[in-house]
Structure 1
């Protein structure tokens, strides 16, 4: 009789526990769906079209409110982040060239990198200026200019990295520079993808 009692009392408790766990998980899922932000979702969806979606979302999601699901605003923010990264990288490389004893080959590689990253900064700045006024019948021409400049900026960043691949250099210096340049190249690549996505529109739309 005791065994029968144990079996019949355990079953309802087990069922109740499962029901409660299911209810909690369902409630959490529903709550998550309710608080989902369309502006953040827009950025996440847009970043999926880039080569580095995780970096894209991490750097741009903080601007979800100001972007407000606007492809143009998102491209602007991405360009600004790339420009900020390029300026920071240029400063880092320049400081490294001044604070270390470099042999001629190292000095040459860093000098070339400073120059190419400087060109990248200029090209990203030109792109941002052009992005300020995209309205009108010359939308596609302006977008073509922007894509050309951002592509050139990315090429310059890659050229900087390639310069260190073919030259012997202090490992620590090389590692620091590569880390900075690779990151800014990823930002620029993402910006280029978002701008290219915007340029596919036949008519300008914010």
Structure 2
């Protein structure tokens, strides 16, 4: 009975936080064809273009055709999703009845996702200080922070791998981490494109 209640509680928590993320990512401003095409073209160079377009097209009018604003928005979307996922995992970890291995993986993942959130915040801070005189150093720093965030997210996913890690909590957590990792990967691709457009090529 207790396990059933925990499962039900996790399901409700998942639905509530999913709705919050959806509202955060999908407040559509006025759109026009030129801005939409710019988003579509930019997203076509990412690893997950459909996800990229779905998350960024709603901000097309504020991005316009600015590669810097595109990168800034992509990082903001990724950061918000990372924070929401971190909150979800903390809540899941407090449920009773988690398998020991799932609980241990959850604890490790909460730590590295916290690092990922910090690194994404650092990247946004660096991007805010960019200028024509420091673009090479700034873009290198931004790439370093976002790459580190992606590594942390991959580390979290690896912790939930294996057939001995079955369970609803593991499935829900891994699904959210994969989404955040895909957003981070897309943001990194857009960062590289922006750097190239400014005449700076990342290694």
Answer whether contact 1:90 1:117 (CA < 8 A) is retained.
yes
Q: How many residues align?
A: 169
For 2:139 and 2:93, how far apart are their aligned partners in 1? 36
How many Å separate the matches in 2 of 1:46 and 1:95? 36
User: What 5-or-longer segments of structure 1 have no aligned partner?
Assistant: 1-34
| Structure 2 unmatched ranges of 5 or more | 1-30
Give the aligned partner of residue 23 of structure 2: none
Distance 1:105 1:45 in 2: 43
- Show the counterpart of 1:29: none
1:202 maps to: 199
Deviation readout 1:17-41 (Å, 9 max, x if unpaired): xxxxxxxxxxxxxxxxxx9611110
- Over 3 Å counting, the alpha-carbon distance change for 1:167 and 1:90 in structure 2 is farther
Contact 1:105 1:167 in 2 (8 A): no
Give runs of aligned pairs for residues 20-31 of structure 1, distance below 5 A: none
Query: Which of the pair has more CA radius of gyration?
Result: 1
Name the residue aligned to 1:113.
Answer: 109
**Could you tell me which residue of structure 1 aligns to residue 177 of structure 2?**
181
Q: TM-score, normalised by structure 1?
A: 0.78
Deviations 1:92-124 (A, max 9, x none): 111111013234322211110000100000000
2:124 to 108, 121, 128: 128
Q: CA contact under 8 A between 1:130 and 1:142: conserved in structure 2?
A: yes
Please, what TM-score do these two structures have when normalized by structure 2?
Answer: 0.79
2:148 — aligned with what? 152
